[in-house]
Structure 1
Amino acid sequence: MRPVLRRIAVAVVATWCISVSAQEFVVRDIRVEGVQRTEAGTVFSYLPIRVGDRFDSERGTQAIRALYASGLFKDVRLEVDGDVLVVIVDERPAISAIDLTGVTEFDKDQVLKSLRDVGLAEGRIFDRSLLERAEQELRRQYLSRGLYGVDVKTTVTPIERNRVNVSVAAIEGEISRIRSITFTGNSVFSESVLRSQMELSTPNWLSWYTKRDQYSRQKLSADLESVRSYYLNRGYLDFKIDSVQVSISQDKRDIFVSVNVSEGDRYIVSGVKLTGELLGLDEELQPLVDVKPGEVFSAERINAVAKRVTDRMSTLGYAFATANPNPEANREKREVAFTIVVDPGRRVYVRRVNIAGNNRTRDEVIRREVRQFESAWFDSDRVRLSRDRIDRLGFFESVTMETPAVPSAPDQVDVNVTVKERATGNIQIGAGYSSSEGLVLSGGIAQQNLFGSGNALSLEINTSKANRVIAIAHTDPYVTPEGISRSIEIFDRKSDLAKLGLSSVGYSTRGAGVVFGVPFTEYDRVFFGLRYENTTIDLTAFSPLRYVQYVEQFGEKSNSLALTTGWSRDDRDNLLVPTRGRYQRAFSEVGLPGLDLQYYRLNYQYQQFFPLFSRVTLAFNGEIGYGDGYSGDPYPFFKNYYVGGIGSVRGFETGSLGPRDVDESPLGGNRRLNFSLEAYVPIPGADRTLRALSFVDAGQVWGLEVRRDAAGNPIGDSRGRPVYDKEKLDLGNLRYSVGIGVAWISPLGPLKLSYAYPLNKKPEDRIQRFQFQIGTGF
């Protein structure tokens, strides 16, 4: 109505203007009256008449329209004083202040920003239509959050100098909760089963966090599609939702949802065949059809067949291939046959690879990970591999790849890589706490993406009552264009096993190492390097005799030069929070002859990640290690493996499992086996690295054990010292635990909390059910 009234008013004024100015004249001067804040020059800038122009009724009408269109005035009049044109205006008021009261559901700064975006802000010209629009939008936002009883009122108060104060007051009321969700017409599946397919639910003890009991039309539509998919995936081809009723109580606190469905009959697949342009790939495409006659119809499986066909086509350059399943139902026999019509479309090649979002990271750092080349045929597998390789760099919060068609070129596409960078460097002085190590003071400089080059440089200073680390490391992942990497490290580490509750002995190791990595496939890399170590052993009067005997035989100080070799295979989709893929690593360390220590260590690690559901990831981790001396030298005890605690078998004290000395202190061992199975669930609304988890752990370490008599007493040699024998590897000694926990890559460093229950603890085991670690690696 307001635009109509405005046009009528303009017409009336224009008519009046024509009547008072029927006699044309030449404008000798223009006078502006009624302005308070607006400069006269601003009025002249909108006025289409200048001094010296001939004034008539048509030009008067144009002038009034132009001044109204500026939005600065609510009334405009033209008068004639001889040959002087008088412009009389009534200014619209300006907004002096906007006050929000009662708004607690939204951040006030965000609300003010939203008002500013639509033109309502301090200093702006007040427009009531904009205020009404903003009021309706705010009310709609409240409704989307389940506040159906909200009352939003706006008040405009005039003040001096033609200004107004705008007040927006909200009485939010209580959030409307879903009190019931009912289904009618269902007989095959119970109401509780159908409700379990929905995100929306009635209130429960977690509703304060999940907010699943807050009604939303969009959420309900998505939930109904989930229910539809549930039926279609179980054979009910004719399933349909007849009606949906949503009602609200009189006090607008309770919402009731009722869904009426028709289930129909259950269908069996009678056959699936591929037709269309198969490009001579019939024998290759047919094995992709894994739905066999006689099986229960599943829309999900049929669509999966179609997707596998289009995915295979897209690896051959047919980026826009389609495979449409067409059902042919026999309702009498309750059977359905599917004909999947394949249309490969045009074969396309990639015109250009575009990279966006990398404000710090150099283009070449991203581009060297891209395996889809320009001017080559499009290959969806290479596009997917490129995305995973870029994501595994660990420099970005997110990586997306799009393949839009090139306008006016039907046989070309572009590959658009868009990244969102994350902080990869920090200067840190901080503290953490570990249930096993106590207070950990740390500081250092680390940059995983130095100057955007992809190189990593770190200076680490980390100290606790049990471990001290001073280390500097540099890694260049592309020493050569072929992707050979080089890592250099200089370190000084000191460990006090007594303060870990393990043994009354400490040792410090200083040294340096260099490792080269050579890729030989997209996923595989071999490593080789050298590491020099100088180790000093610190004994006390209470040190286990095993360690005392070692020092007596080889001295407190030793030097070693170790050759390190290894192999890794990594096809995980993400470095920080993988959801699918596999990681394997084999590593060997051999102390070379000529120095004090001659030993070897062999390690193998296997990780597998499975996406169970849309939000649940199952992760398996297994590790095995073996070490020994050669040429008559014993295995150095400071190279021992330790099992127990976070990273191995939770619920047992850190490093406490395995053989013990005569004083019952853990000795560790030269053989290790541990594995775990974890289920990760991301916490809604939080950082993607914050996840809840449940786990099953198992592990043990075997080494040298004290020889004992039938009564369990230690047996000594002729000098009364304990005698040690190689412990038999018995899988019956494995320890098991189950539990729950939380994992998060926090600003202070990786964090893990766990509460575990040991399943087969022995009397000599040290139990620690709750464990956590933050600020140090694990």
Structure 2
Amino acid sequence: MHRIATAGWHTVLLFLLLQSFAVSAAERFTIEDIEVRGLSRLEQGTVLSYMPLVVGDELNSETAQQTIRELYDSELFADVRLLREGNTLIVEVTERPQIASFEIEGNEQIGGDELTESMTSLGLAEGEVFKQSLLDQVSLELRRQYFANGFYDVDIDAQVDELPNNRVAISIDVVEGESARIRSINIVGNEVFDDDTLRDVLALSETNWMPFQKSDRYSKQQLGGDLESLTSYYQDRGYLRFMVEDVQVQLSPDKSGIYITVSVDEGDVYSVSDVRFSGETVLNEKFLDALVTTSAGETFSRRKATESADRIESALANVGYAFAEVRPVPEPVEGDERAININYVIDPKKRTYVRQIRFRGNAGTNDETLRREMRQLEAAPFSQSAVERSRVRLDRLSFIESTEVDTQPVSGTDDLVDVIFTVKERPPGSVQVGVGFSGADGFLISGSVTHANFLGTGNRVAVNLENNAFSRQVSLSWTDPYFTEDGISQTVSGYFRKSDRIIRFSSGFSSNVLGGDLTYGIPISEYSTLRVGAGVSETSIETFAGQTSDEVIDFVSENGKRFTAFQLRTGISRDTRNRTIFVTRGNLIRLNADIVVPGSDLRYFSTSLTTQHHIPLPFEFIAQVNTSLGYVDTYGNANTVPPYENYFAGGTRTVRGYRDGTLGPRDTPFDNPFGGKLRTTSQTELIVPLPFEADGQSTRFSLFFDIGNVFAEPGDFETGELRQSAGVAFRWFTPFLGILNLSYGFPLNEEPTDETDRFQINFGTGF
């Protein structure tokens, strides 16, 4: 047996450089067979697949070197030798150990699941081949990350334990120690702004007396972000040439304290002399001027310049230039060292068209049901605003929980994109039997069969049955949101209601109502809808001697106990809300006017105006203002409004802190709430973000101020009679009880005759 070439891991580099193990010319031979020795886990075919030699090739100095090099490059072997027995090439290898287990312990501050996944992708995982160099590299990188996050006293111990069958167990034990705290942040070179003002700009801060302080923990990444914030602070105030000249981070000898020194050069304040546009502007220059907020004569602001560039990009994206780029370039003004011109360099790229619109995640919804909500069309120029509006319209569907949109360039083209909407569906149908509670109606038992996306068409079918201490009712409805291709909706409904009283306070009569409605919603713009409909109802009431109020007796005397009413319904609404439940921004304004038309047994009309305003505030707070104004009255020769059509106030929907339905006029002689013709209420809330609620779509906590009342006649209205309350409220969208409303209100100007109820609760479907 002749040794042809050999190399271990400690001599590989020397082998590659000096070729000291090359086969001499006299040892050249033609390979008649290849045999691999030393394998334990690998198959011989695996080794042969990495070799550049096959039977019939000639082994010489060059091919021997190449063979050893490529086997080492596979990183499967710790040692490789080439031997010769006759004309048989013997490849003798020592396999690298296999990782039997890999664990990292003690790393609470760095890593977690992301670190484990990263280690797996690098090859440090069970079943992979072990490489000491990779383990050393990982240990160094882990230590670097700890240092970058202020843990300078960290101890990292990597252990490799040999196991039978050429396997190893790897464990990395981390003792993190205490993070170094920032003892001082010193800013040098600042003359315009003092140190305290500039420190307030930074997220990092010096250690102070505050408990649980985290801002004093040093992080290299956070320091980089703070330096950028400092630069932005100056450049937003005109210091265009501001620079951070030097940053020094010093560690105390005991590794517990960090001292940061930032040297700055403030430079001069620059003003804007002129604004111009260059490149391929595409849009009319007057239109571009309206998008820009950097006016001539004012102090330069990088923030305003960047915002103006973003507005121009958005405007271009709305007319098909999806990948437009706009750069605000400050240019010096000749003869004035402290003035600049802002040149908005516009590169619209090629105009982009939409090839396809696709939907993902809509397992229970027909493609056409989603496609009809699109404001972006296929084969049309791409429009960012149309795509965003399409996403919002999908979000507003009751059977869609959330929508994400992705714009993907079409491979091989530079002017086509595909728009992909990924939806997350809510369960569209439910069969519920449950209980609920309302301050106005008490406990109720209800059953419902509802499907908001019947057969994937978006049609809504609902059957509801309800029973409480004072009334029983059943209703059926069918809504087709696209009764016509133009988006006209149609709702057909029927109902039967038997009630012992108006609300939970009796005025001594009962009623039975049987009726039906047909209503159409006609879109007149993207956000506005016209409501037109008609209804018919048959009502009968019954009075009781000695128990019925004078007001009800007067109504019966004038109109009798049984009457048919034909009603015409009209209205208009404008809705810009981003969602229908737990709205975060947008407004709703709805004006309705309904009239019982001549030919009916009654003569009355009702009008109502409701508004909702949702204003996003800093730090994820939301201001919400809901107002309502309602008025009902008779016309013709009628004098008395039906008592069941009166308005009521008090409770969670109007003025919290006062018992449901108790505000306003009362009947005689029983002094029960009777309602009135005019109601005006307003609810103002500050919605506070909850730390355990990421998206705000299931729970809400708010501080509120309510004001309102009911008046027998419009002429009775007095601002001094408006009841006020303040308090806290909590809402929770429950899986089984619908929306749970809890509130605790403090009446602010109650009268001795008012009925107050500080803690109020409503839950149950339909509330």
**Which TM bucket (shorter chain)?**
0.7 to 0.9
Cα deviation, residue 368, structure 1: 3.0
2:32 paired with 1:27: yes
Cα deviation, residue 117, structure 1: 3.1
Please tell me whether the aligned partners of residues 99 and 167 of structure 2 are also in contact (alpha carbons under 8 angstroms): yes
Cα deviation, residue 88, structure 1: 3.3
Which residues in structure 2 correspond to 1:76-475 (within 5 Å)? 76-104=80-108, 111-135=115-139, 149-174=153-178, 183=187, 193-200=197-204, 214-237=217-240, 239-247=242-250, 257=260, 259-263=262-266, 272=275, 281-286=284-289, 295=298, 297-308=300-311, 311-312=314-315, 315=318, 320=324, 322=326, 324=328, 326=330, 328=332, 336=339, 338-341=341-344, 343=346, 345=348, 348-355=351-358, 357-360=360-363, 361-377=365-381, 379-393=383-397, 395=400, 397-400=402-405, 402=407, 409=414, 412-414=415-417, 416-425=419-428, 427=430, 436=439, 448-449=452-453, 452-457=456-461, 473-475=477-479
Match of 2:4 in 1: none
Cα deviation, residue 624, structure 1: 1.5
Secondary structure of the residue aligned to 2:23 is helix
- Partner Cα distance (2:246, 2:752) in 1: 64
Give a deviation string over 1:40-70, Cα, whole Å, max 9, x none. Answer: 4544555555567665565555554454444
Give a deviation string over 1:207-244, Cα, whole Å, max 9, x none. Answer: 86x96565444444444444444444445555444444
Please tell me whether the aligned partners of residues 100 and 108 of structure 1 are also in contact (alpha carbons under 8 angstroms): no
Cα deviation, residue 524, structure 1: 1.7
Please tell me whether the aligned partners of residues 432 and 449 of structure 2 are also in contact (alpha carbons under 8 angstroms): no
Please tell me whether the aligned partners of residues 31 and 89 of structure 2 are also in contact (alpha carbons under 8 angstroms): no
Cα deviation, residue 128, structure 1: 3.3
2:652 to 646, 655, 661: 646
Amino acid at match of 1:760: N
Instruction: Give the direction of change, closer, same or farther, for the CA distance of 1:238–1:114 in structure 2 (3 Å limit).
Output: closer
Which residues in structure 2 correspond to 1:49-64 (within 5 Å)? 59-64=63-68
Match of 1:697 in 2: 705
2:736 paired with 1:760: no
Secondary structure of the residue aligned to 1:122 is coil
- Partner Cα distance (1:138, 1:542) in 2: 87
Match of 1:520 in 2: 524
- Partner Cα distance (1:544, 1:201) in 2: 73
2:23 paired with 1:18: yes
Please tell me whether the aligned partners of residues 242 and 264 of structure 2 are also in contact (alpha carbons under 8 angstroms): yes
- Partner Cα distance (1:542, 1:10) in 2: 116
Instruction: Give the direction of change, closer, same or farther, for the CA distance of 1:511–1:742 in structure 2 (3 Å limit).
Output: same
2:679 paired with 1:672: yes
- Partner Cα distance (2:613, 2:643) in 1: 32
- Partner Cα distance (1:505, 1:586) in 2: 32
Cα deviation, residue 103, structure 1: 4.7
- Partner Cα distance (1:262, 1:727) in 2: 70
Instruction: Give the direction of change, closer, same or farther, for the CA distance of 1:508–1:61 in structure 2 (3 Å limit).
Output: farther
Secondary structure of the residue aligned to 2:530 is strand
Match of 1:588 in 2: 593
- Partner Cα distance (2:343, 2:746) in 1: 52
TM-score between the two structures when normalised by the length of structure 2: 0.79
Cα deviation, residue 160, structure 1: 2.2
Secondary structure of the residue aligned to 1:475 is strand
Match of 2:716 in 1: 728
Match of 2:612 in 1: 607
- Partner Cα distance (2:286, 2:527) in 1: 29
Instruction: Give the direction of change, closer, same or farther, for the CA distance of 1:372–1:110 in structure 2 (3 Å limit).
Output: closer
Amino acid at match of 1:732: G
Cα deviation, residue 183, structure 1: 4.8
Secondary structure of the residue aligned to 1:97 is strand
Amino acid at match of 1:733: E
- Partner Cα distance (1:311, 1:378) in 2: 11
Which residues in structure 2 correspond to 1:486-497 (within 5 Å)? 486-489=490-493
Secondary structure of the residue aligned to 2:589 is strand
- Partner Cα distance (2:112, 2:463) in 1: 42
Match of 1:722 in 2: none
Instruction: Give the direction of change, closer, same or farther, for the CA distance of 1:549–1:384 in structure 2 (3 Å limit).
Output: same
- Partner Cα distance (2:681, 2:555) in 1: 30
Cα deviation, residue 728, structure 1: 0.9
Structure 1: runs of 5 or more not aligned: 705-724
1:563 to 560, 568, 589: 568
Instruction: Give the direction of change, closer, same or farther, for the CA distance of 1:504–1:239 in structure 2 (3 Å limit).
Output: farther
Cα deviation, residue 165, structure 1: 2.3
Cα deviation, residue 672, structure 1: 1.9
Instruction: Give the direction of change, closer, same or farther, for the CA distance of 1:68–1:342 in structure 2 (3 Å limit).
Output: closer
Secondary structure of the residue aligned to 1:18 is coil
Please tell me whether the aligned partners of residues 14 and 60 of structure 1 are also in contact (alpha carbons under 8 angstroms): no
Secondary structure of the residue aligned to 1:606 is strand
- Partner Cα distance (1:136, 1:490) in 2: 74
Task: Identify the range of structure 1 (100-109 vs 626-635) with the bigger mean alpha-carbon deviation.
Answer: 100-109
Cα deviation, residue 689, structure 1: 1.6
- Partner Cα distance (1:504, 1:390) in 2: 48
Please tell me whether the aligned partners of residues 663 and 710 of structure 2 are also in contact (alpha carbons under 8 angstroms): no
- Partner Cα distance (2:419, 2:185) in 1: 44
Instruction: Give the direction of change, closer, same or farther, for the CA distance of 1:77–1:147 in structure 2 (3 Å limit).
Output: same
Please tell me whether the aligned partners of residues 271 and 336 of structure 1 are also in contact (alpha carbons under 8 angstroms): no
TM-score between the two structures when normalised by the length of structure 1: 0.78
Cα deviation, residue 583, structure 1: 2.2
Amino acid at match of 1:348: R
Give a deviation string over 1:628-683, Cα, whole Å, max 9, x none. Answer: 34452743333443333434334444444333446554434332222234444545
Structure 2: runs of 5 or more not aligned: 1-6
- Partner Cα distance (1:736, 1:571) in 2: 29
Cα deviation, residue 314, structure 1: 5.4
Secondary structure of the residue aligned to 2:13 is helix
Q: RMSD of aligned C-alpha atoms?
A: 5.0
1:529 to 521, 528, 533: 533
Please tell me whether the aligned partners of residues 31 and 84 of structure 1 are also in contact (alpha carbons under 8 angstroms): yes
Cα deviation, residue 700, structure 1: 2.0
Instruction: Give the direction of change, closer, same or farther, for the CA distance of 1:403–1:619 in structure 2 (3 Å limit).
Output: farther
Secondary structure of the residue aligned to 2:716 is coil
- Partner Cα distance (2:542, 2:165) in 1: 84
Instruction: Give the direction of change, closer, same or farther, for the CA distance of 1:634–1:329 in structure 2 (3 Å limit).
Output: farther
2:577 paired with 1:572: yes
Please tell me whether the aligned partners of residues 507 and 538 of structure 1 are also in contact (alpha carbons under 8 angstroms): yes
- Partner Cα distance (1:142, 1:464) in 2: 64
Instruction: Give the direction of change, closer, same or farther, for the CA distance of 1:451–1:740 in structure 2 (3 Å limit).
Output: same
Give a deviation string over 1:497-548, Cα, whole Å, max 9, x none. Answer: 8996898988786655443222122222212234455678799999773686
Give a deviation string over 1:735-754, Cα, whole Å, max 9, x none. Answer: 33444555565656545555
Secondary structure of the residue aligned to 2:664 is coil
Instruction: Give the direction of change, closer, same or farther, for the CA distance of 1:121–1:52 in structure 2 (3 Å limit).
Output: same
Please tell me whether the aligned partners of residues 649 and 735 of structure 1 are also in contact (alpha carbons under 8 angstroms): yes
